[in-house]
A and B are shown apart, each in its own frame.
Chain A
């Protein structure tokens, strides 16, 4: 148990510290790197909770894909660091307010468990008992069997958003020359097969 608690404190301290660094680092690329470190440590916390599937998905999706795109964009931006700092005090009250609201919401959720102890059991009810199936299978049954229509609806919303993004940003420019690989391959005189003796030339 000691090892687990040590691991918990390690992951959570690094996660919180890197989350603080995300908003306080001077260089935006460092911010993204600290964000990645925070994601990674949250994945570690998920593993400690026994939610290994969520941990891996967090790493694959957020660290492996989303943060790469963040980093891609941030690295290419030409940012004026001093101008970035100037707005700090101006946005502080609004940011603080949003932070406070989030904190209150968390308090309501955690407080709910204390006020009504039965709530936690009810929340966990839809999955089958965790000792009969592993948690990947439990999640799969939940998403793809019990709540398939909601899941599909969410998928449709994402698909529409994706198509929308492509339609809004796609420009068709006239006069662009494109390589047509099928035509090149189908051309008869483009490839000639020769039998080569080893060590000899053509």
Chain B
């Protein structure tokens, strides 16, 4: 019995607590990201944004959540029931499980696996299934078109994202996320790899179906795209999944290019602030750009989106792999960052 407790029960409880410690703050962040989005865009549009529920409208996301929670879940008669229900669950789950490998501070990570960045890339490439399944199972033409657009878009932009990740990996010489962050203690990769950082960020916009690449839910032509038949909590799961994915992609950008939990300069006033706060601040910065882009740019047309992905980003990122690889080999960069 004692062996059972020390061998299985306590580790299981400990892992459960770690999972809760990641997921609860994440869900709170998602709720307040929605609020922040409305406030930021309102400020850019010279409006006030939500300001009625609670002080400064701070209880608005909770009110919205309660409203969705108490609505009725409608499943269309023509829908493929099983797939229809699994789709939002899958989207939301995928947005959460990726956080298992994200290091929020020095050593503060649930699973410090060797192939962390590949795991993140694999999980983010699975995100397309939720949307594709929702689009197909709804048995509605708007949802279907949204799902198809999304599949083509995410597969296209994943390619250039993969190449940019490879060019970062070539510099670091490891797939472990903590190693990638530690390799940036001299200089953040956003400076030597600046063009790649920009391309990566734009690709993450496309990968999360955000403006100006939100073709899958283009409300002007597809009503609301893949989630048009969803209501209540099923819709809420898509919504939460989309915003959790935004936070995840910002975390990926932060780890790959903005030095993760590292302070900008390794001197006294900056080092007093603990790592996780730097990490959160950098994620917040990336998220602000997400919102800023949404309020600023018009939506791309579909052929322009494909042109940008295949004819502009792919050649540049392929060239980047060759050039970065050559420079890393010629100047022995990997031993410098170790």
A residues with a Cβ closer than 8 A to B are 2-3, 27, 29-30, 33, 36, 52-53, 56-57, 59-60, 63-65, 68-69, 71-72, 75-76, 134-136, 179, 181, 198-199
DSSP majority for the B interface? helix
A162, B125: Cα distance in complex, Å: 22
Residues B133 and A199 in contact, CB atoms below 8 Å apart: no
Task: Quote the shortest CB–CB distance from B147 to chain A (angstroms).
Answer: 8
- The contact sample of 13 A-B pairs, CB cut-off 8 A, is A33-B83, A33-B133, A53-B115, A59-B122, A60-B121, A65-B155, A68-B128, A68-B129, A68-B132, A68-B155, A75-B132, A75-B144, A181-B307
A99 to chain B minimum Cβ distance, whole angstroms, is 28
Q: Quick check: is B14 within 8 A (CB to CB) of the other chain? A: no
- Chain A interface secondary structure, helix, strand, loop or mixed? helix
Which residue of A is nearest B121, CB measured?
A60
Q: Please report the C-alpha to C-alpha distance between residue A71 and residue B125 in the assembled complex, in whole angstroms.
A: 14
A-B contact count (CB 8 A): 72
Q: Are A64 and B126 in contact (CB under 8 A)?
A: yes
Residues of B within 8 A of A69 (CB): 155
Q: Which residue of A lies closest to B176 (CB)?
A: A134
Which residue of chain B lies nearest to A36 when distances are taken between CB atoms in the complex?
B129
Docked-complex contact B114 and A71, CB < 8 angstroms: no
Which single member of B115, B125, B133 contacts A52 (CB below 8 Å)?
B115
| Nearest residue, chain A, Cβ from B158 | A64
B118 touches A75 (CB 8 A): no
The reply to whether A59 and B133 form a contact with Cβ atoms under 8 Å apart is no
B175 contacts partner chain A, Cβ-Cβ < 8 Å: yes
Q: Which 7 A-B pairs have the closest CB atoms?
A: A64-B125, A56-B118, A59-B122, A60-B122, A52-B115, A56-B122, A56-B115
Chain B 303-336: CB-based contact to A (< 8 A → 1; otherwise 0): 1100100000000000000000000000000000
B273: shortest Cβ distance to chain A, in Å? 33
Q: Bound state CA distance, A56 and B98, in angstroms?
A: 13
A133 to B226 CA separation, bound complex (whole angstroms): 45
CA distance A69 to B307 in the complex (A): 19
Q: Once the chains are docked, how many angstroms separate the CA of A72 from the CA of B80?
A: 17
Chain A residue with minimal CB distance to B124? Answer: A64
Query: How far is the CB of A122 from the nearest CB of chain B, in Å?
Result: 27
**Complexed CA–CA distance, A33 and B126 (Å):** 12
